[in-house]
Amino acid sequence: MAVRIGLAFNLKPDAPANAAAGATPDSPSSDDPNSRALRDDLPQPDLYAEWDEPATIDAVERALSTVGQVYRLEANASFPSRLALIRPDFVFNIAEGLYGPNREGHVPAICEFLGVPCHASDPLTLGLALDKRRAKEVMSYHGVPTAPFVLAKSPADARNVQLPFPLFIKPAFEGSGKGVSVRSLCKTRSQLVKQVSKLLATYAEPVLIETYLAGPEFTVAVLGNGDEARCLPIVGMDFETLPKGAPPIYGYEAKWLWDSPSHPLEIFDCPARIPEALAEDVRAAALAAYHALDCRDWCRIDIRCDAANRPMVVELNPLPGILPDPRDNSCFPKAARAAGMGYDELIRTVADIAWRRISGRSLLAEVA
């Protein structure tokens, strides 16, 4: 009998025709697709940035259907009752949630409550990873290198910060580049207070203020559990490809607006062409962070070097983006392709890793 797989997801809505924000120095417009444009009609202009487009959900379903019977479970208000009715053998989770610092843990928490095994990290790890302050505290405790930081809950906290400039800021509970823009690099206290105030008003959550890391940036895709966890080829970033005058930041503009399928931004280098000693340090930092937060099955870890070229973990993405179109420059599939793994094989491999952890059996062997 085929393994029954529930696919949990959030479907990104298209923006109304008149809702997309125009091009500004903070947020240049994109020509496609309109679901990625910043929106003036929402409380947060990038509210749905973490959700998936139909093409991604369709691609994941197609890949999973080769190793099991797939049931779509949209992560909306009907998810608990649908899950209780269908009771799949396990849930393949790509749902990000919408509101609150624990939103990425909603699906696995409901699965846990109903006794349905879930792929990827558990609710605690997902909550810790999304709360960038707590993630950095856990990493620091375990000796994982990460930049010095403070948390601002008010403009006064920004005015009183003692870290040396320049500083880098972002909302404490967001992902997918939300709230990270060309204005996130603050060189003066007045810039810092102004931008922290803006983020506090927009996202209604604390703002992470950290030492700006002036070195190269990488992202590392990790697969596996325990001692079997391994890094795929490192993805490096070439900030020289950004528009003229743009700071060396991979924020919302570079991720969603300047980079589009019709005009791809040639920012990535995979495998990253760096000295092997640096590559070893980057991989070691990524795996140390992965284990410190008890990640499961897969995760993408963002790393940036300081001025002395020492890798520092920026954040963890235990629900990594997996856009199927290579023109979209989605980093996890890009790293998999560099390792000789196509999109379907990547999804099947991750499902197999999860099923081995859950049942002790190989999903791939069961359908061979």
Q: What is the pLDDT of residue 60?
A: 98
Name the pTM for this structure: 0.90
* C-alpha to C-alpha distances, 2 to 5, 68, 365, nearest whole angstrom: 9, 5, 12
CA nearest to 296, candidates 127, 77, 125, 173: 125
What tokens does 258 get?
């300047």
Q: Mean pLDDT by 10-residue block, N- to C-terminus, for the chain (368 residues)?
A: 95 70 42 58 69 93 98 96 98 92 95 98 97 97 98 98 97 86 95 97 95 97 98 96 90 81 85 98 98 98 97 97 90 98 98 98 89
124-155 CB burial, b ≥16 within 10 A, e <16: ebbbbbbbbbbbbebbeeeebbbbebbbbeeb
Q: Would you state the pLDDT for residue 367?
A: 81
What pLDDT, on a 0 to 100 scale, did the predictor assign at position 368? Answer: 74
Determine the length of the chain. 368
Neighbouring CB atoms inside 10 A of 204's CB total: 12
Using a CB cutoff of 8 Å and minimum separation of 24, what contacts does 260-264 make?
A: 260/30, 260/31, 260/32, 260/36, 261/32, 261/325, 261/327, 261/328, 262/31, 262/32, 263/31, 264/327, 264/328, 264/329
Cα 191 from chain centre: 27
Rounded-to-integer distance, Cα 277 and Cα 351, Å: 32
pLDDT of residue 260: 75
Block residue for tokens 């991720």: 255
- 208's tokens: 């992470």
DSSP string, 28-88: ---SS-GGGS-BTTSSSTTTTTTSBPHHHHHHHHHHHTTTSEEEEEESSTTHHHHHHHH--
Domains of the chain (ranges; CATH) run: 4-131+213-367 (3.30.470.20), 149-211 (3.30.1490)
